[in-house]
Amino acid sequence: MNKKDILELKRRFKKDACTFTRLCGCYVDADRNKVTSFGQTFLNLEDEEFYKYLEIAKKVLSGTVGNNLLELEFPIAEEAPGGRQQFLMGLRESALKSDELMDAFYDLVIDSYDYVGNYLILVFHDAYDVMTKTSDQNKLDESEEVYEYLLCAICPVTLTKPGLGYREDENRIGPRIRDWVVGAPDTGFVFPAFTERSTDIHSVLFYTRDTKTPHSEFMESGLGCGSKFTATEQKLTFQNIVKEVIGEDDAESDALFMDIQDNLNGLIPVVEDETSEPEPVPVTVDTISSVLAESGVSEDQAAVIEKNYGEVFGEDAPAAEHLVDPKLVEANAKRKEKLELIQQVESLKQQLEETRALPVEPEDGEDVPAVKTYDVILRVKPEKVSQIHSEIINGRKCLVIPMEEDEHAAVNGVNTTV
């Protein structure tokens, strides 16, 4: 699923476009007990509940593709009878109206979802009548297919903090009544995937709010798919692989790592048209080898990094943009700019020292040209030379250089407001 597919579904999650047919849920306590469960027609909900549940559903389709949203594929074994994909297919076909299947699904989540605390399992059923689109993206008044899917959201349920509040029944300020509040989804999924505006029963769209530590155990045991790195995990893992070899916490290794980031950033395609999504550039072991060489990493260190990189990521090569930290790229640009400025100043100083001691014609009786030291050396545009003259100002001899309003001056290589 790409960004356009996700946005097409998400745009329908509003009062006048929503077509959710049914909502089911189960509240689970910290001891993994099913406290209560329910099922009802979604469109019959009171407005206040309707919008709150709709907001939760929207969250499952929020975030960045490849980071918060991961497309997982079912292995062949899970598409056979008894597999998790087949179970989800049956749940979808029941339209969430089978209490037996719903209980089995809740048990599946409870057994495979590693979470400390109370949480709410919500499952939405929808049937989206996908309209045909022309080449210019205008909709035609005819159906292409009906995309029937399930949306699951697993939300933490936490106890409100203690505090003081107004006790209306007693007309006084007293301890606030603490209650259990359903939070934004921590994990969720959409099955089947909606790929290129069509049903893809071989894939599921997985959602995680925490991109550093997603529930990989639920990807594997709950959905029956192989776990997959988020972009954040890929970036942090890559940083660990490199820094374990080149070192860290010293200026030289930090500069080397920033150069690696800079060269990786150069691989990211430039977005010329906001309406199009550029193809991500996979960073293979060969690509990493070229980047390390370009960055000045030694051959021995590069060999270790390439080996570890291949073992961790294998054939699932991360996209270049997933390995780059924009803050480090920006910091490296400032570092290079500062170094360049220092080099320019040093070069100007050297030139100044060389030009301060200029040979003059030897006086009568001298064989070797004398060296005269100048206190003021000017570098001006040729057209300015004829304009320079001297004046006595406040009793002191001064050089006067006329300047226009739009002209600027630099003294010893430094811009001034003179």
The answer to whether residue 146 sits within a structural domain is yes
Four-point Cα dihedral 289, 291, 297, 303, nearest 10: -10
Mind listing the pLDDT tens digit for each residue in 367-401? 555 555 566 767 777 787 888 888 888 888 888 88
The pair of structure tokens assigned to 348 is 């100007």
Q: What is the pLDDT averaged over residues 191-211? A: 94
Final residue belonging to a domain, choices 228, 254, 286: 228
Same domain, 207 and 110: yes
The answer to whether residue 344 sits within a structural domain is no
Cβ atoms of residues 173 and 163 within 8 Å = no
Question: Three-state SS for 98?
Answer: coil
Cβ atoms of residues 178 and 197 within 8 Å = no
Same domain, 201 and 277: no
The answer to whether residue 89 sits within a structural domain is yes
The answer to whether residue 384 sits within a structural domain is no
Same domain, 149 and 237: no
Q: How many CB atoms lie within 10 A of CB 287?
A: 16
301 exposure class (CB count in 10 Å sphere: 0-12, 13-18, 19+): middle
Final residue belonging to a domain, choices 294, 324, 354: 324
What is the residue range of 160's domain? 3-228
Give the mean pLDDT of the chain.
87
The answer to whether residue 244 sits within a structural domain is yes
The answer to whether residue 294 sits within a structural domain is yes
Parallel, antiparallel, or unpaired: how do β-strands 203-208 and 69-73 relate? antiparallel
Q: What is the pLDDT averaged over residues 75-100? A: 95
Res. 329 pLDDT band, cuts 50 70 90: confident
Same domain, 29 and 97: yes
Q: What is the pTM of this model?
A: 0.77
Mind listing the pLDDT tens digit for each residue in 40-76? 999 899 999 999 999 999 999 999 999 999 999 999 9
| Number of domains within the chain | 2
Cβ atoms of residues 390 and 397 within 8 Å = yes
Same domain, 159 and 304: no
Final residue belonging to a domain, choices 324, 352, 377: 324
Q: pLDDT value at position 386?
A: 82
Mind listing the pLDDT tens digit for each residue in 117-176? 999 999 999 999 988 776 555 555 566 789 999 999 999 999 888 888 888 888 888 888
The answer to whether residue 261 sits within a structural domain is yes
Q: What is the pLDDT averaged over residues 334-356? A: 78
Same domain, 223 and 310: no
pLDDT at residue 365 greater than cutoff 60: no
Same domain, 154 and 236: no
Mind listing the pLDDT tens digit for each residue in 148-160? 999 999 999 998 8
CA 254 vs CA 238, 287, 383: distances in Å: 15, 21, 47
The answer to whether residue 194 sits within a structural domain is yes
Q: How many CB atoms lie within 10 A of CB 302?
A: 20
Q: How many CB atoms lie within 10 A of CB 183?
A: 14
What is the C-alpha separation between 359 and 355, in angstroms, rounded? 10
Same domain, 218 and 283: no
Same domain, 243 and 108: no
φ, ψ of residue 363 in degrees (nearest 5) = -75, 170
Same domain, 143 and 286: no
Closest alpha carbon to 190 in 135, 231, 148, 239: 148
Same domain, 275 and 309: yes
Same domain, 112 and 243: no
